Amino acid sequence: MTRRRGIRLAARDALHVFVEDTDPEAPPSTMVSVYVFDARAGDAPIRTREDAVTWIGQRLHRTPALTRRLHRVPANLDFPYWVETGVDPDRHVRYETIGPTSRSEVHRLLASMKERRLDLSAPPWEVHVLADIRGVDDLPDGATIVALLLHHSVTDGLGAVEIARALLDDPAAAPSTGGRVVAVPGPVRAAVSLPFRYASMLPALVAARRARRALGGLTASGEITAPRPQRPRTRFDTDAGSAWQLGVVRMPLPEVRAVARATDTSVNDVILTVVSGGLRAYLASYEEIPTDSPAAIVPGSLRDGAGAESENKVTLMYVDLHLDRADPRERLRRVHESAALEKQRIRRPESAASVAAVDASPAFDLAMTIRRAHRGRVGPTGDVVPLANTTVTNVPRGPVEGLRFGGSPAVEAIGTPMLNRNYGLVHSVTSLGEVLTLSFLASDSCMPDPEQYERHLAEAFAELSRDCLPPGARTVSGTGRDSTPDGRLEE
């Protein structure tokens, strides 16, 4: 009998599967990449579900990850494997004609996709098409929205961009083909191999212990700065359990870049400062500005470092948002310094080595560790929280040219940040062409008025731009739509 063959998940990828196994009530590990198309600007727009299914089906050969399903080894004796399977695109494409509607209703539909749990017994992806959207001021009249839903075990945000661009006809898109195809072990073979896997983890454990000691020495000597272990509690530090709402603010990417150049900072620094300004103004409206400053989790790329064999190639930075600084330009300077310290920390080889034991963990051990952490989890209490208060994820979508759905050209991308039960407010930054989109998901329980936060974010960018640029260099930004040819976020 021919043995089944597949691609073994790396530990960082399997982690997303094990977390869902352990805590079915936690937010699902579903990534949602949203693209907006002007259905009236091109020829032959897609107008029916059948046409949408055909379009996606004809492009699946370019996206190997979408033709595989998860094969589980009993009792987590080994990591799951991606195995090839037949794919019926009709089961994965959802199509809805919207018609006249409102901005809040479109945002509600997009936010609800983040709460959708994908079926891991089938290829874990879906494409949702919202067609003929009319009456929404910041979308083209008759717009089509295409949202790609992917389980996080498949890839990370940058990997999802390549998959989406392949489905949307970019000839230069290069989705990952995955790792090496090997024989999938049965339970007996996996059980026999388990002691050897534990033995192979020992060197990584020793190296991790040494790396942590070295990091302690580097911190003590002042060569690096460790993240502060505690931050002040805010209304957003909640075990979010209510409905999520989406907010979107748009900024001209050339203007954002101009602010970064004028202040010798980066686009990322500028956006973190905008988030800081928006948070400061929103909390001030409730008379809740903390005496100490909150911080944000900011994912950093590991594409050339540890964990490079996994599809999820990120590590985490913890960046002080300096809400205590009222002056926008001074806050930008401080955020830039804090982000630089975190980049310096994560780029140290000792930082990668300190967590390398995760990559060497046997599946059984990783799954049990996640279960123990879940059982020992304590809900939000006290006046402080560990490390951070929100997240800001930055995933550029690349140039707009060539992206189409049917004959309709792409005009915008909207990010949807990963949900986290520890935070009632999470942010996503993306760009397509010359439009940068800052979006957020907020829990009803901590932000009943997302439109107010949108205004505060738009005003924070306008204020920062006024302080840093001459009047002629500034353009209009806010919640409306801007023009789009080419552009990319930079570090």
User: 419 is written with which tokens?
Assistant: 């949900």
Position 480 scores a pLDDT of 39
Q: Are residues 152 and 292 in the same domain?
A: no
Does 183 fall in a domain?
no
Q: Are residues 216 and 133 in the same domain?
A: no
Q: Are residues 50 and 126 in the same domain?
A: yes
Q: Are residues 394 and 312 in the same domain?
A: yes
Does 187 fall in a domain?
no
Domain holding 103: CATH number? 3.30.559.10
Does 36 fall in a domain?
yes
Q: Are residues 316 and 450 in the same domain?
A: yes
The number of domains in the chain is 2
- Residue 126 CA to residue 32 CA, distance in Å, equals 9
User: Per-residue confidence of the chain (491 residues) as pLDDT tens digits?
Assistant: 567 999 999 999 999 999 999 988 889 999 999 999 999 998 889 999 999 999 999 999 999 999 999 999 999 999 999 999 999 999 999 999 999 999 999 999 999 999 999 999 999 999 999 999 999 999 999 999 999 999 999 999 999 999 999 999 999 999 999 999 999 999 999 999 999 999 999 999 999 999 999 999 999 999 999 999 999 999 999 866 678 999 999 999 999 999 999 999 999 999 999 999 999 999 999 999 999 999 999 998 776 555 557 899 889 999 999 999 999 999 999 999 999 999 999 999 999 899 888 999 999 999 999 999 888 776 667 899 999 999 999 999 999 998 999 999 999 999 999 998 889 999 999 999 999 999 999 999 999 999 999 999 999 999 999 999 987 666 644 543 333 222 333 44
Position 292 scores a pLDDT of 92
Does 479 fall in a domain?
no
Position 483 scores a pLDDT of 30
User: 259 is written with which tokens?
Assistant: 């602010």
Q: Are residues 23 and 82 in the same domain?
A: yes
Does 189 fall in a domain?
no
Does 312 fall in a domain?
yes
- Residue 103 CA to residue 478 CA, distance in Å, equals 14
Does 154 fall in a domain?
yes
Position 308 scores a pLDDT of 59
Please report, in angstroms and rounded to a whole number, the separation of the first and last CA atoms in the chain.
52
Domain holding 212: CATH number? 3.30.559.30
Position 357 scores a pLDDT of 87
Q: Which domain range does residue 118 map to?
A: 5-173
Q: Are residues 147 and 209 in the same domain?
A: no
Q: Are residues 262 and 340 in the same domain?
A: yes
Q: Are residues 204 and 314 in the same domain?
A: yes
Q: Are residues 73 and 211 in the same domain?
A: no
Q: Are residues 88 and 154 in the same domain?
A: yes
Q: Are residues 75 and 213 in the same domain?
A: no
- Residue 332 CA to residue 269 CA, distance in Å, equals 7
Does 427 fall in a domain?
yes
- Residue 219 CA to residue 469 CA, distance in Å, equals 37
Position 377 scores a pLDDT of 73
